[in-house]
Structure 1
Amino acid sequence: MEERPSVLMSYLRVTQHMSQQFRAHFGKLNLTFPQALVLNVLGEEGPLPISVLAERTGSANSTVSGIVDRLERLGLARRERSEHDRRVIYVSATEQYRLLHQKAATDVSGYFNSLLDTMTPEDRAMVAEALYKLDNLLSTAERTVRLDGDGEAPQKR
């Protein structure tokens, strides 16, 4: 019987494969991975405040703000003040980004969807459910560490 790698090693390998595909795709657009990540979130979720964008990308507000500065200079993102609360500034992807994104030859989500389409519906559902559970577990652990401040993983009860 074939020995399976640990969950951690499988996770690391999958994220490495995904990162390579994202880098290849967005490299064609002359974007760094962090810039592409910010634009991808903006493209999927629409205009967002910097704080929400930072949360969605797992980055600090100051980091995302610097990335947005560079994206604005490239004409790929823009900041706009909220009409309802002038203190809130939203960031959005521009039409220039959308056109550039459409011209890219490799569609990352299409690539992964085509791979997943080779799996049975049951296996796809199992992978989706496992990733959902892992994401929730990691999010809970992050919140716990932030609250506890000790940097230790939560103990099993």
Structure 2
Amino acid sequence: MTETPPGRRLAESLVRLTHLVEHVFAETGRRYDITPQQAQLLCVLHHTQLGMTELSRSLHLEKSSLTGLVNRVERRGLAVRRRDSHDRRECRVALTEQGSRIAVDFHEEVSGRLEELVGDLAPEESGQLTSVIARVLAGAETEPGREGRPDS
């Protein structure tokens, strides 16, 4: 039997970790009656207002898909579209008070659950993992075609 190369083992571990984080994200979203995509939108908009083009890039969605997503969160009273004061043809999407509350609560709960998952790591291991992840993310953000990756 051939041994799996270290790079492949790392990639497989990252994929498994991604699935775990996605599971936590989706499970937490269900508690707030929001889909993972809606949760991601709320998290991206938490401290800012963005135009549809910026949101499309940030969330890696086609404009038609983004329009449907924004329509759904707007109908639920979690976000509103506002005309851009500098360009009346553009609109910016902002969270409502309720949307902001859900974004904060959702983020806190997801963060807490993820912190529990790594709670057994020694402080130096946690620091090393944080540094490595930060380097991987920084490298991904500088690759062509990878601008605007969402933080959450």
Q: Match of 1:24?
A: 27
Distance 2:122 2:54 in 1: 35
Structure 1 residue matching 2:129: 3-state secondary structure: helix
The normalised TM-score by structure 2 is 0.76
How many residues align? The count is 140
**What are structure 1's unaligned runs of at least 5 residues?**
145-157
Distance 1:60 1:47 in 2: 19
Determine which structure has greater relative contact order: mean sequence separation of CA pairs < 8 Å that are 6+ residues apart, divided by chain length: 2
Flag the 1:13–1:142 CA change in 2: closer, same or farther, 3 A: farther
Structure 2 residue matching 1:108: 3-state secondary structure: helix
Q: Match of 2:64?
A: 62
Q: Match of 2:150?
A: none
CA contact (8 A) 1:26 1:36 kept: yes
CA contact (8 A) 1:29 1:101 kept: no
Percent pairwise identity: 27
Q: Is 1:138 aligned with 2:140?
A: yes
The normalised TM-score by structure 1 is 0.74
Q: CA deviation at 1:124?
A: 2.0
Distance 1:98 1:138 in 2: 28
**What are structure 2's unaligned runs of at least 5 residues?**
147-152
- Identify which of 85, 93, 99 aligns with 1:97: 99
Q: CA deviation at 1:103?
A: 6.7
Deviations 1:95-122 (A, max 9, x none): 1223445676x80012223444542332
Structure 1 residue matching 2:145: 3-state secondary structure: helix
Q: CA deviation at 1:26?
A: 0.7
Amino acid at match of 1:42: L
Q: Match of 1:128?
A: 130
Q: CA deviation at 1:142?
A: 4.5
Flag the 1:129–1:55 CA change in 2: closer, same or farther, 3 A: farther
Deviates more, 1:112-121 or 1:63-72: 112-121
Flag the 1:33–1:97 CA change in 2: closer, same or farther, 3 A: same
Distance 1:143 1:103 in 2: 32
Distance 1:109 1:94 in 2: 22
Flag the 1:98–1:69 CA change in 2: closer, same or farther, 3 A: same
Moved over 6 A (4+): none
Distance 1:82 1:103 in 2: 28
Superposed, which structure 2 residues align to 1:2-21 within 5 Å?
Answer: 6-21=9-24
Structure 1 residue matching 2:85: 3-state secondary structure: coil
